[in-house]
Structure 1
Amino acid sequence: MNILYGIYFIFLNSINLSKSTTPNVLIFLVDDLGYGDLGCYGNSTIDSPHIDSLARDGARYTQMYSAAPICTPSRAGFLTGRYPIRLGLTSNDNRFRTFNSPGQSGGLPHDETTVAQVAQELGYRTGLVGKWHLGLGRDGEHLPTRHGFHTFFGMPVTNVQTCGNKKVYNLIGGHGEILDRSFFSYWITLTGKIWLTIIVVALVTWLFYSRKLAFIILIICAIGFFVGMWYTLSFTLLSRSSCLLYRNETIIEQPIHLEDLTLRNTNEATRFMTETVQIHKKPFFLYMAYVKVHTALFTLPENVGRSRHGAYGDNIEELDWSVGKIIQTLKILNIENDTLIFFSSDNGPFLERGIEAGFCGRAMASSGKLSKPLRGAKGQTWECGIRVPGIVRWSGHVVSGQTIESISSLLDFYPSLLELWNVESMPDRPLDGVSLWSNLKFISSTIQVRKERNTLFHYCGSTIAAVRQGKYKAHYWTPTWDEGMRACPSVTICPCLSTEHSPPLLFDIEADPAEESPLDIENYADVLSMMNTAIQEHQATLVSVPNQLETLALPWLFPCCNSQGWTRMIRLITNSCQC
């Protein structure tokens, strides 16, 4: 930690905060939850009474936006209050939009200050339960315990289809179709066109040039094919060994057992809160980052078939049970009124997963009537990919039953807490979020709001794909969907920089949240001029930083539990890391 940060933390420790400004902080962040998946957002087929009660007893946001349309950059923005491009956690390469292996060297930079670090220095006991997905690095250098969390129980990377079973999606056009296939046949499916091209080239070489050269081409390509298959299935998310469960900095399960993971995570969360209050006598900062509802879906056997909406509904209802259990613990500890709760999702639903994905939901048009379902999905800057549920509850402080229609973002939670704690942000680390408090009604409050939002930039990777100002949203880039779909199962997830628009597509989001009727661009020159000016001013504040995502997994960095030296190498080569 550099000298400047040391001075900053000394300053934090010198602040005398009252109990009213140091409530317990409980964050529920769900993975891939759709805007329309909950009862409080209009869903009538899935029961979510405990989450709905948070909205009833607090404030529900109708225009809450993720910090990015996909996991890693969105979570980084949430924890730092800064656009992920400032952190080196963005990529325009569809292969590196998130961390895709625990063997990658990159991670959340250590010169960034997470909200957990600030809380820790203010005397909070901090814990993370669930999904991290912000890097693991050499010897765990990027684990949550190195970024302000006293305790960590969860997955350092992410849950994927491989973690659940050997069923994988047919990515070649079968939207929602699940096939029983081996990893070998899956690899052939993914590389079939390349392999066919090689065979054709070798055949032409054989017939018209040299049989010896054709034979050499085939041998070299065959070796490359099997080495590539071994590498991909051993050191990326297609390997079950990448499905890790950590306690602090120690692997306790590899591969992870998913079925009862929500139960275990819930028990960890309630234990953390209880120990912090009763033993440590401190306020807590708990980041409950659910592994749900990212595929592979999983529930306890007793929860299978409960929902009217199949397996996905079962997962939401088990999620709701967990939220209810944690809220019940607050009541048992008699700290419900001393706990600030925030609930949201890291991005929109993963529609490429068909029947295992959530809903795009419906948003209210300015007429007050329900609009059509939101457009797009996870990975895209259409509304469905970035508009997420957002709930704030602080009993006894925030007036219950509020609906907040102003434009808000996951970037905003960090500066909101800084204002609550009366802490200044680092001068050389400009925050891109603004306080949520300005639009909330309080029973009584002395919070001083310092800034209001003017513009929200929606990044796809390292490129601004869309801009929101007031009721207007301009799309400079959009994805190209697979035919007849609003998703891209042929390439796993849509590249969102497929089609450039100059001039951009412009929508009145308040009147047309479904983004179906572009405005006549000639009549909105002033609007676009202000947006372009905002883009230029924003980009002038960006400083080039090392990219953390665009690195291949290194076998010697891939974690393998309970093994060292030659034993570890053999287990890595044979893809048999287990504990």
Structure 2
Amino acid sequence: MIIFLADDLGYGDLACYGNPIIKTPNIDQLAKEGVLLTDCHSGAPICSPARAALLTGRNPYRLGFYYLANAKSFMKSKEITIPEMLKKKGYQTCFFGKWHVSILEKNKVNQPGPSEQGFDYWMGTSHNAFDGPANTKDFIKNGVPVGQVKGWYCDVIVDEADKWLTEKRDKNKPFFLYIASHEPHTPISPPKEYSDMYDNSTVDSLEKTINYGHVERTKRNISRNKKEYYGTVTQLDNAFGRLMKTIDQLGLKGNTLVFFTSDNGPEDPVSFDESRGKWDDPIRDKCFGTPGIYRGMKRYVYEGGHRVPGIARFPGAIAKGSYSDKLFDGTDLFPTICKLINIPLPEGVHYDGTANFNAFLNKKTKRTEPAVWFYPNWEDTYFRLPEMEIRSGDYALIGWLPPKPDSMKLNDWFFKYGPVKYELYNLKNDPGQQDDLAGEKPEIVNSLSGTMAKLWKEMRDEGRQNKQ
């Protein structure tokens, strides 16, 4: 069983999802051999919470996880993860790549890492990708720093995964491999041969047709940088292809479930920061990821912030070249895997995900509760965004908390208030979430807002206990 997690890869960034520019033949091939999900979501619209949701099957707000992993915010060891459950069935468990649900450097903060969360063997980093794509210096292997590692991140971790699969794995036992790349997260700087593929007039013309989530990105002309992003996605595709070639050569294709997805929507370049009178964070000027037809980018609770690529291959169980428009959330992976291998969910734990292999078969699953996504957008009014979305059938309800008073701390703000303003969209008729129906359909708003407020309070209160 393999989960391959890209970082900041948008719903519309792959050729098999309709991107007219970026070449992704290896990921496209996975879709030809399995199912392409058109309503797949990460568990949150930002990195660390989404990763925690994937590993635990629980909304990250229940875990006390609202933003990025740091010295005070991390996934606690009491949380039960996918590898911990699989070990009960004799699985070998292995992780390579970006961890980012706790700090791995024990000399900085003593937090649980992959070993404490069920992985037998691992090599990873806990930083937020900002050490650069090449010459990464902070890899840690099974708790021991390994020093400088040469090469681009996706290539390094796939090389390590290939080595584990071919040389270190017990061939008589089933395995679970979780591999998490930094690409195409910033900083973006692929090998020249990849960016050169996209340095031409045809690409220049096609780029003008790309939708960037209905988001004002930047007034500067940064189009010269697009080849870097496009090249990075193709480089990621090439690394993924090498991993799949190893799986095929080892004769593992027929009995290995492979799931490819992303941790959240695409990053966007920063517009002018009027509050500070400058262009902020120019490192993001190379971000040309797209959510396709959907609204919003990374950090947005609109669909573009958490609707992500999702492709699954499991020969004999999933039809080749199939499509599914059934909702699959990042929190669904945990209960889905448990049901596949016939392990009951732990008692006394509230799971937000649903055993949902049916989504891979384009069959509807009745969810135990609606899918919901949160992000605490507390910045000033120039950057103000809504904080939550809940899905019910074709409808998506967007909720806003009241603005945070300058004098109030972030935690105090969202523990005190619930949603006070709403937008309603019919995603079947309006996938780009441009036509707000809240005023026309008050009965739907009233019904969904009650559920939203209940889940918001329930999750934040449990999370408050888990932060202590």
Partner residue in 2 for 1:493: none
Counterpart in the other structure of 1:286: 177
Aligned-residue CA RMSD (Å): 3.2
Matched-pair contact (CA < 8 Å) for 1:46–1:316: yes
TM-score, structure 2 as length reference: 0.79
Q: Per-residue CA shift, 1:391-446, capped at 9, x if unaligned? A: 1110122111221112221111111101101111112111101122223339xxxx
1:354-373 mapped onto 2 (5 Å cutoff):
354-362=284-292, 373=293
Conserved? CA contact 2:133–2:153, under 8 Å: no
**2:261 aligned with 1:344:** yes
- The structure whose Rg is larger is 1
- Closer, same or farther in 2 for the Cα pair 1:427/1:547, shift >3 Å? closer
Change (3 A) 1:451 1:507: closer
Residue number in structure 2 paired with 1:544 = 462
CA deviation after TM superposition for structure 1 residue 354, in Å? 4.9
Contact 1:360/1:375 (CA < 8 Å) preserved in 2?
A: no
1:534 is aligned to 2:457? no
Q: 1:118 aligns with which of 85, 89, 95?
A: 85
Once the two structures are superposed, the pairs formed by residues 254-333 of structure 1 within 5 Å of their partners are 259-275=151-167, 277=169, 279-307=170-198, 310-333=227-250
**TM-score between the two structures when normalised by the length of structure 1:** 0.65
Q: CA deviation at 1:303?
A: 3.6
The offset of 1:299, in angstroms, is 2.9
Query: Is 1:83–1:432's contact at 8 Å kept on the other side of the alignment?
Result: yes
Alignment: residue pair count: 407
Cα distance in 2 for partners of 1:416, 1:28 equals: 16
> How does 1:378-417 map onto structure 2 within 5 Å?
378-417=298-337
| Residues 260-288 of structure 1: per-residue CA shift (max 9 Å, x gap) | 332221111111222355x4521110001
2:411 matched residue in structure 1: none
Match of 1:420 among 331, 340, 346: 340
Task: For 1:339, give the aligned amino acid.
Answer: T
Q: Percent identity?
A: 28
Residue number in structure 1 paired with 2:272: none
Q: Is the 8 A contact 2:268 2:288 kept in 1?
A: yes
Match of 1:146 in 2: 116
CA distance in 2, matches of 1:427, 1:449: 26
Residue by residue over 1:499-549, the C-alpha shift from the partner in whole angstroms, topping out at 9 and shown as x without a partner, is x9844111111111111111152x322212221332354356545345788
In structure 2, the CA distance between the partners of 1:478 and 1:464, relative to structure 1 (3 Å rule), is closer
Q: Does 1:471 align with 2:398?
A: no
Separation of aligned partners in 1, 2:316 and 2:191: 35
2:361 corresponds to 1:441: yes
Q: Which sections of structure 1, spanning at least 5 residues, go unmatched?
A: 1-24, 91-96, 166-239, 363-372, 443-447, 481-495, 551-579
Matched to 1:51, the amino acid is I
Distance across 2 between alignment mates of 1:382 and 1:516:
11
The alpha carbon displacement at 1:259 in A equals 4.1
Cα distance in 1 for residues equivalent to 2:191 and 2:174:
32
Query: C-alpha displacement at 1:72, in angstroms?
Result: 0.5
Amino acid aligned to 2:116 = R
The amino acid across from 2:167 in the alignment is: E
- Higher percent of residues as helix: 1
Paired residue type of 1:283: P
C-alpha separation in 2, matches of 1:479 and 1:269: 47
1:131 paired with 2:98, answer: yes
Letter in 1 for 2:80: T
Where 2:373 maps in the other structure, the secondary structure is: strand
Unaligned runs of 5+ in 2: 204-225, 270-282, 378-385, 404-413
1:525 and 1:458 mapped to 2: Cα distance? 22
